[in-house]
Structure 1
């Protein structure tokens, strides 16, 4: 478990610009009442953003996630996280940059039905 904490801390320190942008909108319960954590361990993975109460994970995917091997890896990760009881939303860096309001609306809509 200590290994996950150390890795999560390093990921928080080296977040992408898309992750930084969405984090500014999610942190400090700014999205309704939901408490989000960033780079948080869930099962054997570290997820980009999670609200434990809402059982929702948001993964921000860059260009590297479009190769066949990465798509397969992401699908396997999603299955494990869903088996843990989470809904997993995947959004692209482009969506965050060009349509942050739409991304936040998708997140909020997903949380309403939990």
Structure 2
């Protein structure tokens, strides 16, 4: 997988991803997050490598059967590698940003 493939999504972030990144970047939660980071064959939305936490922001395509199956394989791969995966819908990030951040903070605090 080329670095170009990892960089492309960084340029095309959704509004929900932009909002969440504004809250995660620059160690704002006390941990360093990377955006659009490659782990194995996958590019994850946000990753805190030191705490092995992945945060995914999902749109409607993730509720379709093909998307659900892909996400299940991806989560299984990441879990086997020791990562915890938190998933949030775009509309939840946009409408309840503070609640999403609280969920992420709670998970970070538990590790």
For the criterion TM > 0.5, the same-fold answer is yes
Unaligned residue ranges in structure 1 (runs of 5+): none
- Name the structure 2 match of 1:50: 47
- Pairing of 1:5-20 with structure 2 (within 5 A): 5-20=3-18
Distance 1:113 1:23 in 2: 21
TM-score (ref. length: structure 1): 0.94
Q: Number of matched residues?
A: 111
Distance 1:51 1:70 in 2: 24
Q: 1:29 aligns with which of 21, 27, 30?
A: 27
Distance 2:89 2:51 in 1: 21
Instruction: Report the aligned-residue RMSD.
Output: 0.8
TM-score (ref. length: structure 2): 0.97
Distance 1:60 1:8 in 2: 16
Matched, 1:113 2:105: no
- Name the structure 2 match of 1:85: 82
